[in-house]
Structure 1
Amino acid sequence: MTTSAPAEHCHRCDRPITPPAATAAGHATSEGVVRYTRCGCGNPQIWLTPVEFDAARLLHR
């Protein structure tokens, strides 16, 4: 899977993007655990925590 480097701020409200504290939903995949969250402004975010137990990375903002 190819992903670009995540932005450091939400493109809607310019708040810093950090790994989520609260998860709206999530599930396991062949590449790791996918978690769906929302920024404080409501913008959806998709996080992937790889099976190698690396730090979570933002897939979509």
Structure 2
Amino acid sequence: MSTESGSLECRRLIEAKENLIKAMQTLDSLKDVEHINIKLKDIYKEIEEMHEERRRLEFKI
């Protein structure tokens, strides 16, 4: 997991994003899974938005 200061919630969001990246990389080696990768990318974007909002709250950006 990345080393980034912040709340437990931020660290969990980072971990979730990293796990999604690993899943997408694993699926890249399989056939006919592009539709799954598209869904995972959408989920990644949603978690990234949650993480950005959490950072704004924590750092008053």
- TM-score (norm: length of structure 2): 0.20
Using CA pairs under 8 Å that are at least 6 residues apart, name the structure with larger relative contact order, 1 or 2.
2
Bigger fraction of residues in helix: 2
Max Rg structure: 2
- TM-score (norm: length of structure 1): 0.20
